[in-house]
Amino acid sequence: MAIGRKRSDPQDFVNEFIEKIGKVPVKDVIDHIPLSNDDSGALEKDTYDVLIICALPDERDRVFDAFAVPEEDRRRIIQSFRADYNFVYQKFTYAQFNIAIATQNTMGMAAATSLATRAILAMKPKLVAMTGICAGRKTKVGLGDIIVADQVFDYTAGKKYVDRFSPRPLSFSADDTIRNCISTKILNNDKVSDLILQEWKGSRVPHRISIHMKTIASGTSVIDDNQTMDAAATVNDNLYGIDMESYGVALAAGALRTRWFVAKAVQDFADGDKAKDEEGIRDFSAFASARLLKEVLRDIVD
């Protein structure tokens, strides 16, 4: 049995984690967050069917909303199975599934790949999923639309010459089980779109959303110019959305032979009007993608 480095005080791990996030002072919250561990340093040993990776805390919170996670479970932070994996997570149950949700300390593909790799190695889930928000290709999608990735690729991969950039995209394709489920149960099913709209109580788009199974591209930066979207579309015309993390999750899952699922909902078009477009629908979009995961979970996890 592998033996990991043991921390003398598990609470220090949580202190460091929150300090890195930098969202709130440790002294204001640490007394209110229970740590699932014991004084001996023994780490939790639950097994998990599903691992959800979130790039941002507000995307994680919308997962909690979509799955109606109790407040006590939202507040409980758990140390990773082995201290040398160096991540924390939260857990909840839905139907027959044990679900773990881990949130990145920072945005981006590198952070997504690193966290997903460590968490998959620790938990060995049947499925690793990512939900949240993305920029959409304006000629293909509307605000609030959900894109289920049938393929993800890194649009920043390539070779930079003096006078040009030559793309050399690296890609991963979704599992056939996921493709079949989305194509037969979700696409062109207005009842699913209506259900999502009905369950969300906050601000949302004024129209029925569409659900697509298309390509998502990932890059290394937040974009707000249509040239980047257009350039990525020349690499793959099936491109419907761009984010910063999906490729990293698929890369980690593929390397560790784990089925992956990515659903992102459109919060803006990356066309120079990002702040205007996302106003009032950012939370809805994050919720919509998570609610779709809940809708299909029984069909895509054995």
pLDDT in tens, 180-222: 999 999 999 999 999 999 999 998 888 899 999 999 999 887 7
Selection from 4-18, 20-34, 44-58, 123-137 with the highest mean pLDDT: 123-137
- Domain CATH code at residue 282: 3.40.50.1580
Residue 219, in any domain of the structure = yes
Strands 50-54 and 171-173: what pairing? unpaired
Residue with tokens 């014991």: 38
In a domain, 204, yes or no: yes
Whether pLDDT at 105 is above 70: yes
Q: Is the pLDDT reported for residue 3 higher than 70?
A: no
- Alpha-carbon distance of 250 to 244, in angstroms, equals 12
Q: Which residue has the higher pLDDT, 181 or 35?
A: 181
Domain presence at residue 275: yes
Residue 1 covered by a domain: no
Pairwise CA distance, residues 113 & 117, whole Å? 6
Q: What is the CA 127 to chain-centroid distance, rounded? A: 13
C-beta of residue 241 within 8 angstroms of C-beta of residue 151: no
Q: Number of folded domains in the chain?
A: 1
Q: What is the pLDDT of residue 157?
A: 73
In a domain, 213, yes or no: yes
Q: Which of 34-38, 77-81, 105-109, 160-164 has the lowest mean pLDDT?
A: 34-38
Q: Is 237 a member of any domain?
A: yes
Please provide the average confidence, as pLDDT, over all residues in the chain. 84
Q: Tell me whether residue 120 is in a domain.
A: yes
For tokens 């477009």, name the residue: 277
Q: Which domain holds residue 296?
A: 10-300
Distance CA(133)–CA(282), nearest Å, equals 7
Q: Is residue 261 part of a domain?
A: yes
**Average of per-residue pLDDT across 218-245:** 84
